[in-house]
Structure 1
Amino acid sequence: MLFEAKTAEAIASFTLSDHQQVFLRDVDVFLDYLVKNPVPVSKNKNQPPVKWAEPLNRLLSSPDVLTLKRPLTASYARIMGLLLLGRSSGLASLRPDSRGNTILHVHDSIYQQWQVMTDIERYFTLLEAWINRGYATNVGERISAIDNRFLSGFMMMFGGNDLWLGRAARDPGMWWRRAGPFNLTILKMAGLAEFQLGGSHREIHDLKLTPWGWVFLNACRKGFIDSMESGEYEDSDEQINLLSAITAIRSDVNSTLELPKPVPSTSYVLSVALGNKCKRTLQVSAEQLLEDLAEAILDAFGFGNDHLYHFQYLTPFGADRTVDHPAVNSRESCVTKTRLHQLHPFPGMKITFVFDYGVNWEFEIVVMHGSEDSTSDIQVIERKGKAPEPY
């Protein structure tokens, strides 16, 4: 059971404060702005440009006041927090366009569900999304912790001696720098924590969980700890069954966001680039082992298969995943046991194939689209540019 009796009572009696209502209005402002202004994001971080962020900042209830001469989008903590909530809930998603850009936009079917939800349903849905799927890598940032989520990562590691005991953080600046201003801003917007900012929003003071934040987050923390102690912890996108536990307590929480299931294809067209001028396009069966894909990529570029390698990618919610050569790791996710469809490919998905750890050749793979055409062999359907000499 996720919630003990006292926590269940607190959840049952919880009502949204004015502050939390403002938070939900800011989420709607963000979504409405994104509906009207879908935007290309940066290649490496999937972040929108600052010229897109600045007008949005002015529309929010408490705009960030920056004195930086050249602020980046990441400088706007509130926007980054809203972006992480949008990405982890599925409301804001990425799609490729015909020019090879990646576009941030509102996911129509999920947004339609959002529009008919009550405020209390929206509030708990956003918290669940952030706690279970709020990987910082999904908005181009990283935190140094067990994993890239705030609660199961950074807060699990560093909250024990102060915040979890109901006290103020002894070094709030460390939390601001290393846990990410966007995560702390989510805490504050959702009424889970309080803190004060100074020094043009670059200094933080008096970081402490609110009574509601202490009760709710402690229960979620216990859920993560229980999963680790039972050996079930897998850094999954649904680590704790938070929403089902809440709906069992509250009769007014009925609707949640239903994420669309990926549509499998028979085969996939992959663009594989080595540098800026050398590219190969492959058609690969969804059933192909990654071991065979590695062999085909190396052969297409004239490389011998004589070094260790791995595949690395982000899930749709930004979790880091690696599939290794069996000599590096022979677990279930090694290349001799993992087939392409198990990566849940989707158009625009990026996969890095790293070959030869002494040199670190990085082949950038982009899933162009799925196909219903079947293929038994991996086919090279287009070649562009001369491949470099491997040694």
Structure 2
Amino acid sequence: MNKEELKIEIENLQIQDDFSDFINYISTNNVKLTAQANHIGPKDCFAINNLLYHKQAVKHNKLKHPKYHAIWLFFQLGLTSGLLEIDDQKSSNYLKVNEEKFSYFMSFNKVEKYLMLLETLWVKCCLENLNPDGRGPDFQENLNDFFESLEESLPNKNEPNNLFYSHYNDVIIQLPFFGWWDYSLKKDTTYYDIVEEVDISLLGEFFIKKLKAERPLLFWNKHSRINKSYLFETTFMMFQYERTDLSEEDINKLLDRVSKESFLDVFTDNFEEGILDKKNFYSSNTQDNNYIFKVALTKKIWRKIKISSLATFEDLHIAIMQAFNFDNDHLYAFFLSGTVYKGDSLKDPRREEAPFADEVEIKEADLQNGDKIAYLFDYIAGWQFLLKLEEIETNTTPLSKPQIVDTKGEAPEQYPDWEE
């Protein structure tokens, strides 16, 4: 596929317009999230679905958010990119748009929009969130394995293999909107959609080969790097098998490449000059900065902590303990999804299972302004804090130790006297 053909293929896709229409709906409507799951409500989903080119055939307006495949994908991409934010008002949570970021996104051409969405998916997104019901195989591992299997089987990619396709059912159904494949479903299923056949497009062939060779998922996805998934070939039941196809030197070279290159650098030569003028939607946090986190126990009790990007999450944990006058005498965990017990977690070093908080620098999490992290301290008492990155101070000397820069409310007693 030459440069002009690739450009035309991408410009003919509808994912860019569908995503823009989705964000614009949120911008122009008061979208309230469901109380328990923080999902878009059924009536709003029904209205959004009718706006999309990739609309699903639905019979009523009571279908829940995770059942709308395109809307679920766009919701995750919007939150991950910072285009969408959850506004926690007094009684309910609402979805709002970061208008400045949306305006910048809308200034992109269709190729730039497409690659921005691809970078969000491939590099920034916690891929487990794309599995709407949380069941079944690991979504990230399945996406990686699916690409490996398809690349190996090209060009005999369209031969029906129901067992093969059913294993990657969630990946196939959640990600057709990038134009990599079309699929058909079995007609005799009642409760769940089951893939019967997949047809890989020319665009799919290009990106499957390109991403596998130049941007391997387990190295480029930030959540995979934090979990060090690249060290393992596969997971069976609860057992992980260390990979044997790459030496330690090979792994370090790949990680070094991730640290030095932009995800989009590899696509520059595939387009004529000027097509990717606005290719960098995301600011680079590779330099040493200071971060300011708002650490909230409740809406009326919070502390703002300034800390170096070179500090570890263990250092951040200790800073939170000191800010709230808690004793550091229980286990803790940080959840990068922003929700306790969901997605990736950085664990207390006293736990047996990695990744450990004292081995991950804050800058390795590749955070952007507005990103939220859930912090759980003391699994029995269940102290839950919500961290929001409010500011990244650039061109400044990293702090040698954290600072408390603002406070509100009196910290509660860690061990209240229940007899009083």
When the two structures are superposed, what TM-score results if normalisation uses the length of structure 2?
A: 0.66
Structure 2 CA distance for partners of 1:16 and 1:104, relative to 1, 3 Å: farther
Q: How far apart are 1:75 and its partner, in Å?
A: 0.7
1:247 aligns with 2:265: no
Residue number in structure 2 paired with 1:5: none
| 1:94 equivalent in structure 2 | 85
Native 8 Å contact 2:42 2:61 kept in 1: no
What are the within-5 Å matches in structure 2 for residues 283-294 of structure 1? 283-286=304-307, 289-293=315-319
Mapped contact 1:143–1:154 kept (Cα < 8 A): no
User: Is residue 364 from structure 1 mapped to residue 375 from structure 2 by the alignment?
Assistant: no
Corresponding residue number in structure 1 for 2:142: 154
Distance in 2 between residues matched to 1:162 and 1:326, nearest whole Å = 39
Q: Given the superposition, is the C-alpha separation of residues 78 and 266 from structure 1 closer, same or farther in structure 2, using an over 3 Å criterion?
A: closer
**Separation in 1 of the partners of 2:172 and 2:51?**
22
Q: Which sits farther off after the overlay, 279-288 or 154-163?
A: 279-288
Classify the secondary structure of the residue corresponding to 1:14. Answer: helix
1:355 is the counterpart of 2:347: no
Q: Would the aligned equivalents of 2:86 and 2:93 in 1 still touch at CA under 8 Å?
A: yes
- Once the two structures are superposed, the pairs formed by residues 323-334 of structure 1 within 5 Å of their partners are 323-328=346-351, 334=357
Who is 1:50 aligned against?
Answer: 42
- Which residues of 2 match residues 57-72 of structure 1 at below 5 A? 57-66=49-58, 70-72=62-64
2:410 pairs, out of 382, 387, 390, with 382
- 1:174 aligned partner: 167
In the alignment, residue 353 of structure 1 is paired with which amino acid? L
Match of 1:221 in 2: 212
Q: TM-score, with normalisation over the residues of structure 1? A: 0.70
- CA pair 161-342 structure 1, distance change in 2 beyond 3 A: closer
Q: Output the CA distance in 1 between the equivalents of 2:366 and 2:123.
A: 19
The 5-angstrom pairing of residues 112-151 of structure 1 reads 112-137=103-128, 141=132, 142=134, 149=140
Whether contact under 8 Å (1:143, 1:180) holds in the other structure is no
Moved more, 72-81 or 196-205: 196-205
Give the unaligned 5+ runs of structure 2: 220-229, 231-245, 394-401
What is the deviation of 1:364? 1.6
Report the equivalent of 2:202: 211
Percentage of pairs with the same residue = 12
Gaps of 5+ in 1: 1-8
1:80-111 Cα shifts (integer Å, max 9, x gaps):
133334344x2632143553755433322232
Aligned length: 359
Secondary structure of the structure 2 residue equivalent to 1:129: helix
Equivalent position SS for 2:336: strand
**Structure 1 residue 195, shift from structure 2 partner:** 0.7
Alignment check: 8 A CA contact 1:95 1:348 kept = no
Give the structure 2 partner of residue 4 of structure 1.
none
Contact residue 350 and residue 364 of structure 1 kept, 8 A:
no
Whole-angstrom distance in 2 between the partners of 1:17 and 1:266: 41
Report which structure shows greater RCO (CA 8 Å, sep ≥6): 1
- Residue 295 of structure 2 is matched in structure 1 by 270
- Does residue 1:73 correspond to 2:98, yes or no? no
**What is the deviation of 1:244?**
1.8
1:96/1:347 contact within 8 Å kept: no
8 A contact 1:173–1:204 mirrored in 2: yes
Q: How big is each residue's C-alpha offset from its partner over 1:130-179, in whole Å with a ceiling of 9 and x where there is no partner?
A: 22223335568457667x54xxx322224544564132454333322x43
SS of aligned partner of 1:258: coil
Measured at CA, do residues 261 and 43 of structure 1 come closer, stay the same or move farther in structure 2, by a change above 3 Å? farther
- 1:76 Cα deviation (Å)? 0.8
One-letter amino acid matched to 1:127: L
| Closer, same or farther: CA 343–384 of 1 in aligned 2, 3 Å | farther
Paired residues of 1:85 and 1:134 also in contact (CA < 8 A): yes
Local SS of the residue matching 1:96:
strand
Contact 1:309–1:325 under 8 Å retained in 2: yes
Change (3 A) 1:14 1:328: same
CA distance in 2, matches of 1:223, 1:18: 19
Q: Distance in 2 between matches of 1:113 and 1:69?
A: 33
Q: CA deviation at 1:379?
A: 7.1
Q: 1:130 to 1:11 in 2, by over 3 A?
A: farther
Q: Cα gap change, 1:295/1:280 in structure 2, threshold over 3 Å: closer, same or farther? A: same
- How far the C-alpha of 1:14 sits from its partner, in A, is 1.5
Q: Which amino acid aligns with 1:245?
A: V
How far residue 231 of structure 1 moved from its aligned partner, in angstroms, is: 1.7
Distance in 1 of aligned mates of 2:93 and 2:290: 21
Q: CA deviation at 1:383?
A: 4.5
Matching of residue 194 in structure 1 with residue 207 in structure 2: no
